[in-house]
Amino acid sequence: MVHLDEKGRLRSPGSSAPVRPDRLAEHLARELRIPEEATDLYVYVHGWQTSPDVAVRSAARLLREARELATARPDLYAGLEGGYRPWCVVVCWPSSSLPGLRGYRRIRERAHAMSAPGTGQAAHVLGHLLGYLDTHRTDPGDPAVLRNRNGQYMHLLGHSFGGRFLCEAVQWAAESPQQPRVLGWSHPVDPRRPFTVDSALVFQMAAPRDSFDTMFPELFATGVRPAAPLRGPLALTHSRWDRATGFWHLRAEGAPGIGHSGAGAAPVAPYSTRLLTVDEPYTRGLLDHRIVNIDAGWRFRGGRATRLAPAGAHSDFLHPESAHLLAGLAALSR
């Protein structure tokens, strides 16, 4: 587990002082040990109104169910024949607030301040984390074969405002000039980028629909601008029952958010599909796109009381179908 404070600084367990920026690599090397048997590395950042304990349980549940599905139904996950043994780093940050518009705005401003250039350090810290994991993993692209079962693939996983942090981190990490080597998806690698993230999945992202034009312009290549190190797709779920990114986002931002209506204007055209049942395989044609809007309204809806609650079904994403999507992305990354 990795803890960030309200300024996005990394906090060392048992210490009241943040880790100095020039000690980040040393701290990560001391605290994180990537298991050799792991096949897939995940960085999970939670969302609004989530405690560290709940964040850890949520990530563990999703990955446990994904592994169980891959074991029980190998016919649905071609590419995972050599095994699927996920390992996760959970990133925790102060996300609690009062419910309602005031609380939503407070956390929105905190999330922005934690990543804002010059003031926040969240993107810097998470960028270092991604770089550390990439440096110490077994690279699935070296040796360069179409499927290397000894490789370790890297994925991003987030919920709500956690998706903002991850996008900021990938943009920050894009500044390094090292060479990426990852196969699998159709998008070509860019020799000006440090490494590649094999897939990114954000449940119910709390951000404006045009964020990839306005907030995260470096995530996707346009013209002569090189792409950030996001090799695989950015999958984004949305549900009309999400009141946090619907009702409250509309009042705070003037328009519904991604978690309610999906990504809108972007440097690359989003592809739209639906969340599949656990008996339907995800094909490359469904997910091999730079941005994938996934309508999960049929599943992420909660009960009647949940839908009428301040956040609605914003946190109703812990379902087998979510784990199925997770495993499908991992399989297609090979």
| Chain segment 205-216, per-residue pLDDT in tens | 999 999 999 888
**For 66-88, what is the mean pLDDT?**
94
| Distance between CA atoms of residues 322 and 334, nearest Å | 19
Model confidence at 74, in pLDDT bands (50, 70, 90)? Answer: very high
Q: CB 144: neighbour CB atoms within 10 A?
A: 11
Comparing C-alpha atoms, which of 189, 202, 207 is closest to residue 252?
A: 207
SS3 of 235-263: EEEECCCECHHHHHHHHHHCCCEHHHHCC
Q: Which of 137-151, 182-196, 261-275 has the highest mean pLDDT?
A: 261-275
What is the pLDDT of the chain when averaged over all its residues?
84
| Distance between CA atoms of residues 29 and 44, nearest Å | 18
Please report the pLDDT score of residue 143 as a whole number: 41
| pTM assigned to the model | 0.88
Model confidence at 106, in pLDDT bands (50, 70, 90)? Answer: confident
